[in-house]
Homo-oligomer: A and B are copies of this chain.
Amino acid sequence: MDGTGRMKVDRVTLAHGGGGRAMRDLIEGVFTSVFQPPGGEDQARLMDAALKEPGARLAFTTDSFVVTPIEFPGGDIGKIAVCGTVNDLVVGGARPLWLSAAFIIEEGTEVALLRRIAASMQAEAQAAGVRIVTGDTKVVERGKGDGVFVTTAGVGVIPAGRDLGAAHIAAGDAVLVNGYVGDHGAAILAARGDMALDTDLISDCAALGHLMEAVLAAAPGTHAARDATRGGLASALNEMAAEAGVSVELNEDALPLRPEVRGICEILGLDPLYLANEGTMVLFVPQDQAAAALAAMRSRPQGRDAVQIGVAKNGLAGRVSLRSSFGGARIVDMLVGEQLPRIC
């Protein structure tokens, strides 16, 4: 898997998807030389002692990523593909172990871009403690794709005794977030450039495994967590409240919103509660463990700005409302259409 110097062309051609030597050069030169997956077969062969433990379960998830621009302040499609899939595992209480990575590449895409994406994925995987163990590349004709799409799948292990899920949420639970809301969506919007928005916003894109382990150690009674990606905090809360059969009351003053995010939303008529996040999760924790969970989060970079934003109540099942500082309240409904295409 010595890939150095194998790829002598600057741009991907259809031949790189054909199954022959050109494809092998692309895969080895750009991807496997960086990821260093185990073995030479079409499948990775793996085992982790934790999976053998009585009561342990396997967690399995996937996401495709089509974010545009492919590179943005705070990340790129590769980083988001690793973080997004890791976080899908993490919010269910799983310890992430292994990722797959499949690339659909448009003819003409710069090989240098692919190298940056691979490096970004590998760096993020190492930080999150996971390995990229298997993958695939396909090439489509110019105009039949858009640069590169990345699909990751992830496998992790849920230790015995852990059972996080929206069904466990109870009235009285504190609703926590680990940090600012809407940064990713606003950063992508600004990065697209067609709005002439000049900001220093960066995506919150981050893997949350270590943070989640800290929360579960400090607040073992934690009922449920979800990463508030596409559809934003509002969609995550609506789904969870409906599944749990509770209502959720948010306190507008407590919502951690950066002034730049607030500003972009005001200019464009967007609601930050629907903006995508890629490193922000929402947690439902029994109120008597909320302080411990917050303290655990605040001691880590990804949770420095953790805060309680609301409470679960015995109200209309599935209703999420936002109470303002003036005493009024409005319903925060499920997003119907979409605010921003290709946000992740």
Assuming the contacts A19-B231, A20-B235, asked whether A66 and B138 have C-beta atoms less than 8 A apart, the reply is yes
Interchain nearest-CB distance for A159 vs B (Å): 12
Residues of A near any B CB (own CB < 8 A): 14-15, 17-24, 39-47, 51-52, 56-66, 88-89, 91-92, 94, 98, 100-104, 133-141, 143-146, 149, 151, 153, 155-156, 158, 164-167, 226-227, 229-232, 235, 243, 274, 276, 334-343
Is B61 a contact of A230 with CB atoms below 8 Å? no
Is B336 a contact of A60 with CB atoms below 8 Å? no
Interchain nearest-CB distance for A253 vs B (Å): 26
- Dominant SS at the A interface? mixed
Task: Collect the chain B residues with CB atoms within 8 Å of residue A15's CB.
Answer: 336-338
Interchain nearest-CB distance for A15 vs B (Å): 4
Assuming the contacts A43-B94, A56-B47, A59-B44, asked whether A23 and B231 have C-beta atoms less than 8 A apart, the reply is yes
A43 to B, closest residue via Cβ: B61
Is B144 a contact of A146 with CB atoms below 8 Å? yes
A232 to B, closest residue via Cβ: B19
Task: Collect the chain B residues with CB atoms within 8 Å of residue A151's CB.
Answer: 62, 64, 102, 104, 136, 151, 153
Interface centre among A20, A58, A66, A229, by most B CB within 10 Å? A20
Is B232 a contact of A104 with CB atoms below 8 Å? no
Select A101's contact among B20, B62, B137, B337, beta carbons within 8 Å: B62
Interchain nearest-CB distance for A240 vs B (Å): 10
Interchain nearest-CB distance for A11 vs B (Å): 15
Task: Collect the chain B residues with CB atoms within 8 Å of residue A136's CB.
Answer: 62-64, 151
A14 to B, closest residue via Cβ: B341
